[in-house]
A and B are shown apart, each in its own frame.
Chain A
Amino acid sequence: MITIAVSKGRMQDDALALLAKAGVRLSPASLESRKLALPDESGEYQFIFVKPADVPVYVEHGIADCGIVGRDVLLESEVDVLLPLDLGIARCRIVVASLDPTVIARSFGMLRIATKYVRIAAEYFGARGIPVEIIPLSGSVELAPALGLADAIVDLVETGRTLSENGLSIVEVIRDSTGLLVVNRASYQLKSAEVTRLTSALSCAIEGAPAA
Protein backbone atom coordinates (compact mmCIF):
# COMPACT_ATOMS: atom_id res chain seq x y z
CA MET A 1 0.00 0.00 0.00
CA ILE A 2 1.12 3.52 -0.78
CA THR A 3 0.46 6.46 1.49
CA ILE A 4 -0.14 9.80 -0.20
CA ALA A 5 -0.03 13.08 1.72
CA VAL A 6 -2.20 15.76 0.13
CA SER A 7 -2.04 19.50 0.85
CA LYS A 8 -5.22 20.71 2.45
CA GLY A 9 -6.83 23.82 1.03
CA ARG A 10 -6.67 25.07 -2.53
CA MET A 11 -4.63 22.10 -3.78
CA GLN A 12 -6.92 19.42 -2.37
CA ASP A 13 -9.89 19.59 -4.79
CA ASP A 14 -7.69 19.76 -7.88
CA ALA A 15 -5.57 16.89 -6.60
CA LEU A 16 -8.54 14.66 -5.85
CA ALA A 17 -10.10 15.42 -9.23
CA LEU A 18 -6.90 14.47 -11.03
CA LEU A 19 -6.49 11.33 -8.94
CA ALA A 20 -10.07 10.32 -9.76
CA LYS A 21 -9.30 10.76 -13.44
CA ALA A 22 -6.31 8.46 -12.87
CA GLY A 23 -8.62 5.87 -11.34
CA VAL A 24 -7.79 6.53 -7.68
CA ARG A 25 -11.01 7.40 -5.89
CA LEU A 26 -11.99 8.20 -2.36
CA SER A 27 -15.57 7.28 -1.51
CA PRO A 28 -17.75 10.28 -0.53
CA ALA A 29 -18.41 8.55 2.79
CA SER A 30 -14.74 8.36 3.71
CA LEU A 31 -14.15 11.95 2.59
CA GLU A 32 -16.86 13.12 4.96
CA SER A 33 -15.54 11.11 7.87
CA ARG A 34 -13.17 12.81 10.26
CA LYS A 35 -10.55 10.09 10.12
CA LEU A 36 -6.97 11.20 9.61
CA ALA A 37 -5.97 8.42 7.23
CA LEU A 38 -8.41 7.42 4.49
CA PRO A 39 -8.12 4.40 2.20
CA ASP A 40 -9.17 4.77 -1.45
CA GLU A 41 -11.83 2.51 -2.95
CA SER A 42 -9.30 -0.05 -4.23
CA GLY A 43 -7.49 -0.28 -0.89
CA GLU A 44 -4.18 0.22 -2.73
CA TYR A 45 -3.71 3.75 -1.49
CA GLN A 46 -4.09 5.54 1.77
CA PHE A 47 -4.53 9.30 2.00
CA ILE A 48 -3.58 11.75 4.67
CA PHE A 49 -4.59 15.39 4.46
CA VAL A 50 -2.16 17.80 6.08
CA LYS A 51 -1.16 21.47 5.90
CA PRO A 52 0.84 22.24 2.74
CA ALA A 53 4.09 22.92 4.61
CA ASP A 54 3.80 19.54 6.35
CA VAL A 55 3.49 17.49 3.14
CA PRO A 56 7.25 17.52 2.41
CA VAL A 57 7.96 16.70 6.05
CA TYR A 58 5.85 13.52 5.97
CA VAL A 59 7.33 12.53 2.63
CA GLU A 60 10.96 13.20 3.52
CA HIS A 61 10.62 11.06 6.64
CA GLY A 62 8.98 8.30 4.61
CA ILE A 63 5.78 8.33 6.68
CA ALA A 64 4.04 9.15 3.41
CA ASP A 65 5.51 7.54 0.28
CA CYS A 66 4.18 10.26 -1.98
CA GLY A 67 2.77 13.74 -1.63
CA ILE A 68 0.93 16.34 -3.63
CA VAL A 69 2.16 19.84 -2.92
CA GLY A 70 2.93 23.15 -4.60
CA ARG A 71 6.41 24.01 -5.83
CA ASP A 72 6.28 27.15 -3.70
CA VAL A 73 6.19 24.97 -0.59
CA LEU A 74 9.05 22.78 -1.82
CA LEU A 75 11.27 25.74 -2.64
CA GLU A 76 10.62 27.23 0.76
CA SER A 77 11.29 24.04 2.71
CA GLU A 78 14.36 22.82 0.76
CA VAL A 79 13.55 19.19 1.49
CA ASP A 80 15.29 16.24 -0.10
CA VAL A 81 12.53 14.46 -2.01
CA LEU A 82 12.06 13.35 -5.62
CA LEU A 83 9.71 15.33 -7.85
CA PRO A 84 9.05 13.07 -10.82
CA LEU A 85 5.81 14.61 -12.03
CA ASP A 86 4.47 18.13 -12.50
CA LEU A 87 0.72 17.73 -12.15
CA GLY A 88 -0.02 21.12 -13.64
CA ILE A 89 -2.75 21.75 -11.06
CA ALA A 90 -3.38 24.80 -8.86
CA ARG A 91 -1.27 26.94 -11.17
CA CYS A 92 -0.18 30.27 -9.74
CA ARG A 93 2.77 32.62 -9.57
CA ILE A 94 5.22 33.68 -6.89
CA VAL A 95 5.57 37.44 -7.31
CA VAL A 96 7.04 40.61 -5.87
CA ALA A 97 4.19 43.09 -5.36
CA SER A 98 4.12 46.64 -4.10
CA LEU A 99 2.01 49.81 -3.93
CA ASP A 100 4.71 51.32 -6.14
CA PRO A 101 5.44 49.37 -9.35
CA THR A 102 8.90 50.95 -9.58
CA VAL A 103 9.88 50.09 -6.03
CA ILE A 104 12.86 47.89 -6.97
CA ALA A 105 14.24 50.28 -9.55
CA ARG A 106 13.98 53.20 -7.14
CA SER A 107 15.47 51.45 -4.12
CA PHE A 108 19.13 51.99 -3.31
CA GLY A 109 19.65 51.28 0.34
CA MET A 110 17.53 48.57 1.78
CA LEU A 111 14.24 47.11 0.63
CA ARG A 112 11.88 45.80 3.30
CA ILE A 113 10.10 42.66 2.14
CA ALA A 114 7.22 41.11 4.08
CA THR A 115 6.56 37.50 3.19
CA LYS A 116 5.64 33.96 4.13
CA TYR A 117 8.37 32.84 1.71
CA VAL A 118 11.48 33.87 3.61
CA ARG A 119 13.86 31.56 1.81
CA ILE A 120 12.53 32.19 -1.69
CA ALA A 121 12.67 35.96 -1.12
CA ALA A 122 16.20 35.88 0.31
CA GLU A 123 17.40 33.71 -2.58
CA TYR A 124 15.74 35.87 -5.25
CA PHE A 125 17.04 39.22 -4.05
CA GLY A 126 20.35 37.73 -2.95
CA ALA A 127 21.05 36.39 -6.45
CA ARG A 128 20.51 39.91 -7.84
CA GLY A 129 22.59 41.60 -5.17
CA ILE A 130 19.70 43.69 -3.86
CA PRO A 131 19.97 44.22 -0.09
CA VAL A 132 16.72 43.36 1.66
CA GLU A 133 15.35 43.17 5.15
CA ILE A 134 13.01 40.22 5.26
CA ILE A 135 10.05 40.45 7.60
CA PRO A 136 8.49 37.00 8.11
CA LEU A 137 4.69 37.00 8.37
CA SER A 138 2.36 34.04 8.60
CA GLY A 139 -0.70 35.46 6.84
CA SER A 140 -2.47 38.52 5.36
CA VAL A 141 0.82 39.59 3.84
CA GLU A 142 -1.00 42.01 1.49
CA LEU A 143 -1.65 44.36 4.38
CA ALA A 144 2.02 44.97 5.13
CA PRO A 145 2.77 47.64 2.48
CA ALA A 146 -0.42 49.65 3.14
CA LEU A 147 0.31 49.68 6.86
CA GLY A 148 3.92 50.71 6.32
CA LEU A 149 5.53 47.51 7.56
CA ALA A 150 7.21 46.78 4.24
CA ASP A 151 8.06 48.32 0.86
CA ALA A 152 7.00 45.20 -1.00
CA ILE A 153 5.83 41.66 -0.48
CA VAL A 154 6.73 38.29 -1.95
CA ASP A 155 3.63 36.15 -2.19
CA LEU A 156 1.72 33.54 -4.12
CA VAL A 157 -0.81 34.97 -6.57
CA GLU A 158 -3.55 33.12 -8.37
CA THR A 159 -5.84 35.73 -9.90
CA GLY A 160 -4.32 38.87 -8.45
CA ARG A 161 -7.63 40.02 -7.00
CA THR A 162 -6.44 40.18 -3.39
CA LEU A 163 -3.47 42.21 -4.55
CA SER A 164 -5.52 44.80 -6.39
CA GLU A 165 -8.04 45.02 -3.57
CA ASN A 166 -5.16 46.11 -1.38
CA GLY A 167 -3.81 48.56 -3.94
CA LEU A 168 -0.87 46.34 -4.84
CA SER A 169 0.44 45.55 -8.29
CA ILE A 170 2.89 42.93 -9.48
CA VAL A 171 6.40 44.32 -9.78
CA GLU A 172 8.15 41.14 -10.88
CA VAL A 173 7.23 37.50 -11.33
CA ILE A 174 9.71 35.26 -9.53
CA ARG A 175 8.41 32.03 -11.02
CA ASP A 176 5.40 29.86 -11.74
CA SER A 177 4.25 27.36 -9.19
CA THR A 178 2.12 24.28 -9.78
CA GLY A 179 1.20 21.18 -7.83
CA LEU A 180 3.77 18.37 -8.05
CA LEU A 181 3.84 14.72 -7.17
CA VAL A 182 6.71 14.24 -4.73
CA VAL A 183 8.12 10.85 -3.75
CA ASN A 184 10.25 9.71 -0.83
CA ARG A 185 13.70 8.57 -1.96
CA ALA A 186 13.51 5.19 -0.23
CA SER A 187 9.92 4.49 -1.36
CA TYR A 188 10.94 5.29 -4.94
CA GLN A 189 13.30 2.29 -4.80
CA LEU A 190 11.60 -0.03 -2.34
CA LYS A 191 8.09 0.36 -3.77
CA SER A 192 9.14 1.12 -7.32
CA ALA A 193 6.37 -0.93 -8.98
CA GLU A 194 3.60 0.81 -7.02
CA VAL A 195 5.12 4.26 -7.47
CA THR A 196 5.53 3.72 -11.20
CA ARG A 197 1.92 2.62 -11.48
CA LEU A 198 0.76 5.79 -9.77
CA THR A 199 2.98 8.11 -11.83
CA SER A 200 1.94 6.53 -15.13
CA ALA A 201 -1.74 6.68 -14.23
CA LEU A 202 -1.35 10.34 -13.28
CA SER A 203 0.65 11.13 -16.46
CA CYS A 204 -2.14 9.65 -18.57
CA ALA A 205 -4.72 11.62 -16.62
CA ILE A 206 -2.78 14.85 -17.19
CA GLU A 207 -2.31 14.26 -20.91
CA GLY A 208 -5.92 13.22 -21.37
CA ALA A 209 -7.14 16.33 -19.65
CA PRO A 210 -8.64 19.07 -21.82
CA ALA A 211 -6.57 22.24 -21.71
CA ALA A 212 -7.71 24.39 -18.81
Chain B
Amino acid sequence: MTRLSKLPPGMRYYLGAEARLRRLVEDTAMSVFEGWSYEEVLTPSVDYYALFEQGMGQTEAQTAFRFTDSDGEMLSLRPDVTSSVARVAATLLADRERPLRLCYAAPVFRRQQQSHAEWRRESTQLGCELIGVSGEAADLEVLLVAAEILKSIGLEHSFCITINDVGIFNGLLNELNIGPQSQEALRRLIDTRDRGELKTFLERNCDNTSTREALFKLAELTGNQNVLAEARSVINNEDSVAALDKLGRLWEVIESLGLDSSFEIDLADVSSLDYYTGLSFKVFVRGIGYRVGRGGRYDGLTSNFGSSEPAVGFVLSLDSLVEVLGQGTFINGRTPEEPRSIEPGELPETFRSAVRERSKNQRIRIEPTS
Protein backbone atom coordinates (compact mmCIF):
# COMPACT_ATOMS: atom_id res chain seq x y z
CA MET B 1 0.00 0.00 0.00
CA THR B 2 2.81 2.47 0.75
CA ARG B 3 3.74 2.59 -2.91
CA LEU B 4 0.21 3.37 -3.97
CA SER B 5 -0.37 5.98 -1.31
CA LYS B 6 2.48 8.27 -2.30
CA LEU B 7 2.42 11.03 -4.90
CA PRO B 8 5.12 11.63 -7.51
CA PRO B 9 7.47 14.47 -6.53
CA GLY B 10 6.18 17.92 -7.45
CA MET B 11 2.50 16.91 -7.44
CA ARG B 12 -0.10 17.83 -4.85
CA TYR B 13 -3.76 17.93 -3.90
CA TYR B 14 -5.91 21.02 -3.38
CA LEU B 15 -8.77 20.60 -0.92
CA GLY B 16 -11.43 22.57 0.91
CA ALA B 17 -10.79 26.26 1.49
CA GLU B 18 -7.65 26.21 -0.61
CA ALA B 19 -9.46 24.67 -3.58
CA ARG B 20 -12.21 27.28 -3.27
CA LEU B 21 -9.64 30.08 -3.08
CA ARG B 22 -7.95 28.68 -6.15
CA ARG B 23 -11.17 28.74 -8.13
CA LEU B 24 -11.93 32.27 -6.96
CA VAL B 25 -8.53 33.55 -8.04
CA GLU B 26 -8.87 31.82 -11.39
CA ASP B 27 -12.36 33.25 -11.94
CA THR B 28 -11.21 36.74 -10.94
CA ALA B 29 -8.31 36.62 -13.37
CA MET B 30 -10.51 35.33 -16.18
CA SER B 31 -13.04 38.10 -15.59
CA VAL B 32 -10.27 40.71 -15.78
CA PHE B 33 -9.14 39.20 -19.08
CA GLU B 34 -12.71 39.30 -20.30
CA GLY B 35 -12.98 42.94 -19.19
CA TRP B 36 -10.10 43.80 -21.52
CA SER B 37 -11.74 41.82 -24.38
CA TYR B 38 -9.52 38.76 -24.21
CA GLU B 39 -11.18 35.60 -25.47
CA GLU B 40 -10.59 32.31 -23.71
CA VAL B 41 -8.82 29.61 -25.66
CA LEU B 42 -8.46 25.97 -24.59
CA THR B 43 -5.58 24.06 -26.09
CA PRO B 44 -4.73 20.34 -25.91
CA SER B 45 -2.89 19.02 -22.85
CA VAL B 46 -0.93 16.65 -25.08
CA ASP B 47 0.84 17.95 -28.14
CA TYR B 48 3.80 17.29 -30.40
CA TYR B 49 7.13 17.76 -28.68
CA ALA B 50 8.40 19.51 -31.80
CA LEU B 51 5.89 22.31 -31.18
CA PHE B 52 7.40 23.14 -27.81
CA GLU B 53 10.94 22.74 -29.10
CA GLN B 54 10.16 25.45 -31.65
CA GLY B 55 8.02 27.58 -29.38
CA MET B 56 10.11 27.60 -26.20
CA GLY B 57 13.59 26.77 -27.42
CA GLN B 58 15.34 23.45 -26.92
CA THR B 59 16.63 23.97 -23.41
CA GLU B 60 13.26 24.89 -21.96
CA ALA B 61 11.38 22.23 -23.92
CA GLN B 62 13.64 19.53 -22.52
CA THR B 63 12.07 20.07 -19.11
CA ALA B 64 8.83 18.57 -20.47
CA PHE B 65 7.40 15.09 -19.90
CA ARG B 66 7.86 13.24 -23.19
CA PHE B 67 6.52 10.02 -24.61
CA THR B 68 5.93 8.47 -28.00
CA ASP B 69 2.67 8.16 -29.87
CA SER B 70 1.61 4.85 -31.45
CA ASP B 71 3.09 6.01 -34.76
CA GLY B 72 6.44 6.84 -33.16
CA GLU B 73 5.97 10.62 -33.08
CA MET B 74 7.27 12.28 -29.95
CA LEU B 75 4.50 13.74 -27.80
CA SER B 76 4.66 15.88 -24.71
CA LEU B 77 2.45 16.97 -21.84
CA ARG B 78 2.36 20.69 -22.51
CA PRO B 79 5.11 22.56 -20.62
CA ASP B 80 3.63 25.88 -21.73
CA VAL B 81 0.49 27.22 -23.38
CA THR B 82 2.00 30.05 -25.42
CA SER B 83 3.43 27.67 -28.05
CA SER B 84 0.05 26.28 -29.02
CA VAL B 85 -1.64 29.68 -28.78
CA ALA B 86 0.92 30.95 -31.30
CA ARG B 87 0.11 28.01 -33.54
CA VAL B 88 -3.64 28.54 -33.39
CA ALA B 89 -3.14 32.24 -34.14
CA ALA B 90 -0.99 31.49 -37.17
CA THR B 91 -3.17 28.71 -38.55
CA LEU B 92 -6.83 28.46 -37.53
CA LEU B 93 -7.12 32.17 -36.80
CA ALA B 94 -4.80 33.31 -39.61
CA ASP B 95 -7.55 35.25 -41.36
CA ARG B 96 -9.15 36.66 -38.24
CA GLU B 97 -8.91 40.43 -37.86
CA ARG B 98 -5.92 41.68 -35.83
CA PRO B 99 -5.20 42.27 -33.04
CA LEU B 100 -6.08 38.92 -31.52
CA ARG B 101 -6.63 38.93 -27.79
CA LEU B 102 -6.47 35.44 -26.32
CA CYS B 103 -6.35 34.23 -22.71
CA TYR B 104 -6.25 30.94 -20.84
CA ALA B 105 -6.12 29.23 -17.47
CA ALA B 106 -4.48 25.86 -17.93
CA PRO B 107 -2.16 23.43 -16.16
CA VAL B 108 1.35 22.96 -17.52
CA PHE B 109 3.73 20.14 -16.67
CA ARG B 110 7.47 19.92 -16.25
CA ARG B 111 9.47 16.79 -15.69
CA GLN B 112 12.19 18.88 -14.15
CA GLN B 113 11.53 21.59 -11.60
CA GLN B 114 12.45 25.08 -12.75
CA SER B 115 14.46 25.83 -9.62
CA HIS B 116 14.97 24.49 -6.10
CA ALA B 117 12.37 26.88 -4.78
CA GLU B 118 9.80 26.14 -7.49
CA TRP B 119 9.01 22.67 -6.34
CA ARG B 120 5.90 22.00 -8.41
CA ARG B 121 5.89 19.95 -11.58
CA GLU B 122 2.27 20.69 -12.36
CA SER B 123 1.18 24.30 -12.14
CA THR B 124 -1.63 26.31 -13.60
CA GLN B 125 -0.82 29.28 -15.77
CA LEU B 126 -3.13 32.26 -16.05
CA GLY B 127 -2.04 33.94 -19.21
CA CYS B 128 -2.84 36.10 -22.17
CA GLU B 129 -1.42 36.96 -25.57
CA LEU B 130 -1.98 40.10 -27.60
CA ILE B 131 -1.09 39.19 -31.17
CA GLY B 132 -0.74 41.34 -34.25
CA VAL B 133 0.20 44.72 -32.80
CA SER B 134 3.56 46.14 -31.91
CA GLY B 135 4.38 49.32 -30.08
CA GLU B 136 4.06 50.73 -26.63
CA ALA B 137 0.26 50.71 -26.51
CA ALA B 138 0.22 46.91 -26.71
CA ASP B 139 3.06 46.59 -24.18
CA LEU B 140 1.26 48.85 -21.74
CA GLU B 141 -2.01 47.02 -22.22
CA VAL B 142 -0.66 43.68 -21.04
CA LEU B 143 1.27 45.30 -18.17
CA LEU B 144 -1.93 46.92 -16.97
CA VAL B 145 -3.94 43.73 -17.35
CA ALA B 146 -1.39 41.96 -15.14
CA ALA B 147 -1.50 44.78 -12.60
CA GLU B 148 -5.29 44.74 -12.53
CA ILE B 149 -5.41 41.00 -11.86
CA LEU B 150 -2.98 41.36 -8.95
CA LYS B 151 -4.99 44.28 -7.61
CA SER B 152 -8.33 42.56 -7.89
CA ILE B 153 -7.19 39.50 -5.94
CA GLY B 154 -6.14 41.76 -3.08
CA LEU B 155 -2.42 42.07 -3.74
CA GLU B 156 -2.50 45.77 -4.63
CA HIS B 157 0.22 46.80 -2.20
CA SER B 158 2.21 43.59 -2.33
CA PHE B 159 3.38 43.19 -5.89
CA CYS B 160 6.24 44.52 -7.95
CA ILE B 161 6.49 44.22 -11.72
CA THR B 162 10.04 44.72 -12.99
CA ILE B 163 10.35 45.84 -16.59
CA ASN B 164 13.23 45.80 -19.03
CA ASP B 165 13.83 45.88 -22.77
CA VAL B 166 16.21 43.24 -24.11
CA GLY B 167 17.29 45.71 -26.81
CA ILE B 168 19.44 47.50 -24.24
CA PHE B 169 21.66 44.52 -23.50
CA ASN B 170 21.61 43.28 -27.10
CA GLY B 171 22.80 46.66 -28.32
CA LEU B 172 25.77 46.48 -25.96
CA LEU B 173 26.44 42.87 -26.96
CA ASN B 174 26.82 44.04 -30.57
CA GLU B 175 29.64 46.34 -29.48
CA LEU B 176 31.55 43.25 -28.38
CA ASN B 177 33.08 40.65 -30.59
CA ILE B 178 32.49 37.46 -28.62
CA GLY B 179 31.05 34.02 -29.45
CA PRO B 180 27.73 32.62 -28.28
CA GLN B 181 29.26 30.81 -25.28
CA SER B 182 30.86 33.96 -23.95
CA GLN B 183 27.66 35.88 -24.64
CA GLU B 184 25.77 33.41 -22.49
CA ALA B 185 28.41 33.67 -19.73
CA LEU B 186 28.14 37.47 -19.83
CA ARG B 187 24.34 37.34 -19.77
CA ARG B 188 24.47 35.12 -16.71
CA LEU B 189 26.93 37.35 -14.87
CA ILE B 190 24.74 40.41 -15.38
CA ASP B 191 21.52 38.56 -14.59
CA THR B 192 22.91 37.31 -11.25
CA ARG B 193 24.54 40.75 -10.63
CA ASP B 194 27.82 38.92 -10.04
CA ARG B 195 29.88 42.08 -10.20
CA GLY B 196 33.04 40.47 -8.89
CA GLU B 197 33.21 37.95 -11.73
CA LEU B 198 31.75 40.40 -14.24
CA LYS B 199 34.70 42.72 -13.73
CA THR B 200 37.20 39.94 -14.43
CA PHE B 201 35.19 38.80 -17.47
CA LEU B 202 35.06 42.30 -18.97
CA GLU B 203 38.77 42.90 -18.40
CA ARG B 204 39.47 39.73 -20.38
CA ASN B 205 36.89 40.09 -23.15
CA CYS B 206 36.26 43.75 -23.69
CA ASP B 207 38.90 46.21 -24.95
CA ASN B 208 36.60 49.18 -25.36
CA THR B 209 36.51 51.12 -22.07
CA SER B 210 33.12 52.69 -22.63
CA THR B 211 31.43 49.35 -23.46
CA ARG B 212 33.12 47.81 -20.45
CA GLU B 213 31.88 50.57 -18.18
CA ALA B 214 28.35 50.33 -19.57
CA LEU B 215 28.10 46.55 -19.11
CA PHE B 216 29.53 46.74 -15.61
CA LYS B 217 27.07 49.47 -14.73
CA LEU B 218 24.12 47.54 -16.17
CA ALA B 219 24.38 44.96 -13.36
CA GLU B 220 23.33 47.53 -10.79
CA LEU B 221 20.74 49.50 -12.72
CA THR B 222 17.55 48.69 -10.85
CA GLY B 223 15.04 51.27 -9.66
CA ASN B 224 12.81 54.06 -10.99
CA GLN B 225 13.31 56.39 -13.95
CA ASN B 226 16.64 57.60 -12.52
CA VAL B 227 18.01 54.30 -13.73
CA LEU B 228 17.29 55.32 -17.32
CA ALA B 229 19.20 58.57 -16.91
CA GLU B 230 22.14 56.69 -15.40
CA ALA B 231 22.03 54.21 -18.27
CA ARG B 232 22.01 57.03 -20.84
CA SER B 233 25.14 58.48 -19.31
CA VAL B 234 27.12 55.32 -20.10
CA ILE B 235 25.34 53.86 -23.15
CA ASN B 236 25.47 55.45 -26.58
CA ASN B 237 24.83 52.85 -29.28
CA GLU B 238 21.71 53.45 -31.35
CA ASP B 239 19.83 50.22 -30.56
CA SER B 240 20.31 50.45 -26.82
CA VAL B 241 19.32 54.11 -26.74
CA ALA B 242 16.16 53.40 -28.76
CA ALA B 243 15.23 50.66 -26.27
CA LEU B 244 15.93 53.01 -23.35
CA ASP B 245 13.66 55.62 -24.94
CA LYS B 246 10.90 53.05 -25.35
CA LEU B 247 11.20 52.02 -21.72
CA GLY B 248 11.13 55.68 -20.73
CA ARG B 249 7.85 56.21 -22.56
CA LEU B 250 6.32 53.16 -20.81
CA TRP B 251 7.48 54.51 -17.48
CA GLU B 252 5.91 57.92 -18.12
CA VAL B 253 2.50 56.33 -18.58
CA ILE B 254 2.95 54.04 -15.56
CA GLU B 255 3.84 57.08 -13.49
CA SER B 256 0.93 59.14 -14.79
CA LEU B 257 -1.41 56.35 -13.72
CA GLY B 258 0.05 56.47 -10.22
CA LEU B 259 1.33 52.91 -10.54
CA ASP B 260 5.03 53.66 -10.21
CA SER B 261 5.15 52.28 -6.68
CA SER B 262 4.19 48.85 -8.07
CA PHE B 263 6.68 48.91 -10.94
CA GLU B 264 10.44 48.94 -11.14
CA ILE B 265 12.90 49.21 -14.00
CA ASP B 266 15.47 46.41 -13.90
CA LEU B 267 18.03 46.70 -16.69
CA ALA B 268 19.99 43.76 -15.29
CA ASP B 269 17.09 41.37 -15.85
CA VAL B 270 18.53 39.64 -18.89
CA SER B 271 17.32 36.15 -18.17
CA SER B 272 15.52 35.24 -21.36
CA LEU B 273 17.27 36.66 -24.37
CA ASP B 274 16.61 33.97 -26.93
CA TYR B 275 12.86 34.34 -26.41
CA TYR B 276 11.89 37.95 -25.86
CA THR B 277 12.50 40.57 -28.52
CA GLY B 278 11.60 43.80 -26.71
CA LEU B 279 9.83 44.40 -23.44
CA SER B 280 10.41 41.69 -20.83
CA PHE B 281 9.00 41.69 -17.33
CA LYS B 282 8.74 39.68 -14.14
CA VAL B 283 6.19 39.69 -11.36
CA PHE B 284 7.12 39.39 -7.69
CA VAL B 285 4.78 39.29 -4.71
CA ARG B 286 5.62 39.76 -1.04
CA GLY B 287 5.66 36.42 0.73
CA ILE B 288 7.10 34.38 -2.15
CA GLY B 289 10.83 34.12 -2.76
CA TYR B 290 10.65 33.58 -6.51
CA ARG B 291 8.79 35.20 -9.38
CA VAL B 292 5.08 34.47 -9.67
CA GLY B 293 4.85 35.48 -13.30
CA ARG B 294 6.67 36.73 -16.32
CA GLY B 295 5.99 38.11 -19.74
CA GLY B 296 7.17 40.22 -22.61
CA ARG B 297 7.25 40.72 -26.32
CA TYR B 298 8.19 37.81 -28.59
CA ASP B 299 7.83 39.01 -32.15
CA GLY B 300 9.52 35.90 -33.52
CA LEU B 301 7.07 33.45 -32.02
CA THR B 302 4.57 32.91 -34.81
CA SER B 303 7.30 32.92 -37.48
CA ASN B 304 7.69 29.21 -36.72
CA PHE B 305 4.41 28.76 -38.53
CA GLY B 306 5.28 30.83 -41.58
CA SER B 307 3.70 34.13 -40.65
CA SER B 308 5.73 36.49 -38.55
CA GLU B 309 3.71 38.91 -36.49
CA PRO B 310 4.26 40.89 -33.30
CA ALA B 311 3.04 39.41 -30.03
CA VAL B 312 3.18 40.33 -26.37
CA GLY B 313 1.81 38.46 -23.36
CA PHE B 314 2.41 37.11 -19.89
CA VAL B 315 1.67 34.26 -17.50
CA LEU B 316 0.96 34.30 -13.79
CA SER B 317 1.28 31.16 -11.69
CA LEU B 318 -2.10 30.42 -10.13
CA ASP B 319 -0.45 28.09 -7.62
CA SER B 320 1.97 30.75 -6.38
CA LEU B 321 -0.81 33.33 -6.08
CA VAL B 322 -2.93 30.91 -4.07
CA GLU B 323 0.08 30.15 -1.88
CA VAL B 324 0.47 33.85 -1.01
CA LEU B 325 -3.23 34.50 -0.55
CA GLY B 326 -3.61 31.35 1.53
CA GLN B 327 -1.15 32.74 4.06
CA GLY B 328 -4.27 34.44 5.35
CA THR B 329 -3.37 38.10 5.23
CA PHE B 330 -5.33 38.79 2.07
CA ILE B 331 -8.62 37.41 0.84
CA ASN B 332 -10.29 34.12 1.58
CA GLY B 333 -12.16 31.96 -0.86
CA ARG B 334 -15.92 32.07 -0.66
CA THR B 335 -17.10 30.29 2.50
CA PRO B 336 -20.12 28.24 1.51
CA GLU B 337 -23.43 28.78 3.39
CA GLU B 338 -24.58 26.21 5.95
CA PRO B 339 -26.44 23.43 4.13
CA ARG B 340 -29.99 22.44 4.97
CA SER B 341 -30.09 18.89 6.28
CA ILE B 342 -32.32 16.43 4.47
CA GLU B 343 -33.22 13.77 7.01
CA PRO B 344 -33.18 10.21 5.73
CA GLY B 345 -36.47 8.39 5.32
CA GLU B 346 -38.31 6.67 2.52
CA LEU B 347 -36.23 7.15 -0.64
CA PRO B 348 -38.93 8.86 -2.78
CA GLU B 349 -39.76 11.31 0.01
CA THR B 350 -36.09 12.07 0.77
CA PHE B 351 -35.26 12.90 -2.80
CA ARG B 352 -38.51 14.75 -3.43
CA SER B 353 -37.51 17.23 -0.75
CA ALA B 354 -33.91 17.26 -1.96
CA VAL B 355 -34.98 18.17 -5.49
CA ARG B 356 -37.45 20.74 -4.14
CA GLU B 357 -34.79 22.51 -2.08
CA ARG B 358 -32.29 22.37 -4.92
CA SER B 359 -34.78 23.96 -7.31
CA LYS B 360 -34.72 26.95 -4.93
CA ASN B 361 -30.93 26.77 -5.19
CA GLN B 362 -30.76 25.91 -1.47
CA ARG B 363 -27.54 24.22 -0.38
CA ILE B 364 -28.47 20.81 1.02
CA ARG B 365 -26.81 17.82 2.64
CA ILE B 366 -28.41 14.39 2.67
CA GLU B 367 -27.82 12.94 6.13
CA PRO B 368 -26.78 9.32 6.45
CA THR B 369 -29.30 6.75 7.67
CA SER B 370 -28.40 5.91 11.23
A interface with B by C-beta (< 8 Å): 57, 59-63, 79-86, 178, 180, 183-190, 192
Contacts and interface: CB of A to CB of B under 8 A. Distances in A.
Interface of B is mostly: loop
Interface stretch (B14-22, B64-72, B283-291, B341-349): B283-291
B164 to A, nearest CB: 12
A189 B266 contact: yes
Which DSSP category, helix, strand, loop or mixed, fits chain A's interface?
A: mixed
Contacts of A189: 160, 162, 222, 264, 266, 282, 284
Contact of A82 (B193, B288, B290): B193
B117 interface: yes
Given A186-B288, A186-B289, A186-B291, A62 B117 contact: yes
B290 A62 contact: yes
A62 B118 CA distance: 11
In the A-B complex, the 5 residue pairs with the closest CB atoms: A62-B289, A86-B196, A84-B193, A186-B284, A83-B194
B341 to A, nearest CB: 45
25 contacts: A57-B116, A59-B289, A60-B116, A61-B289, A62-B117, A80-B116, A80-B290, A82-B192, A82-B193, A83-B193, A84-B195, A84-B220, A86-B196, A178-B196, A184-B289, A186-B288, A186-B289, A187-B289, A188-B193, A189-B162, A189-B266, A189-B282, A189-B284, A190-B284, A192-B222
Given A62-B117, A80-B116, A185 B266 contact: no
A184 B193 CA distance: 12
Given A57-B116, A62-B117, A185-B291, A190 B286 contact: yes
A62 B223 contact: no
B115 A80 contact: yes
Nearest to A56: B116
The residue in B162, B194, B266, B291 that gathers the most chain A C-beta atoms within 10 A of its C-beta is B194
Contacts of B196: 83, 85-86, 178, 180
Contacts of A186: 284-286, 288-291
A84 B198 CA distance: 10
A7 B186 CA distance: 28
Interface string B284-319: 111011110000000000000000000000000000
Interface string B104-124: 000000000001110000000
Nearest to A191: B286
A83 B290 contact: no
A102 B220 CA distance: 43
A204 to B, nearest CB: 15
B365 to A, nearest CB: 41
Which of under 10, 10 to 19, 20 to 34, or 35 or more describes the interface residues of B?
20 to 34
A60 B160 contact: no
A84 B223 CA distance: 15
Interface of B: 115-117, 160, 162, 192-196, 219-220, 222-223, 264, 266, 282, 284-286, 288-291
B116 A79 contact: yes
Contacts of B222: 188-189, 192
Contacts of B193: 82-84, 183, 188
Nearest to B194: A83
Nearest to B222: A192
Contacts of B194: 83-84
A188 B264 CA distance: 11
A22 B345 CA distance: 77
Contacts of A187: 289
Given A80-B115, A190-B160, A192-B222, A185 B195 contact: no
Contacts of B264: 189, 192
Contacts of B162: 189
A51 to B, nearest CB: 16
Contacts of B117: 60-62, 80
B43 to A, nearest CB: 29
Contacts of B282: 189
Given A186-B285, A188-B193, A192-B264, 9 more contacts: A57-B116, A60-B116, A60-B289, A61-B116, A82-B193, A83-B195, A186-B288, A189-B282, A192-B222
A83 B223 CA distance: 17
Contacts of A183: 193
B288 A60 contact: no
A41 B318 CA distance: 40
A27 B219 CA distance: 34
A83 B116 CA distance: 17
A187 to B, nearest CB: 7
B289 A83 contact: no
A63 B288 CA distance: 9
A86 B195 contact: yes
Given A83-B193, A84-B193, A185 B284 contact: yes
Contacts of B284: 185-186, 189-190
Contacts of B285: 186, 190
Contacts of A85: 195-196
A62 B284 CA distance: 12
Contacts of A84: 193-195, 219-220
A60 B223 contact: no
A67 to B, nearest CB: 12
Nearest to A81: B192
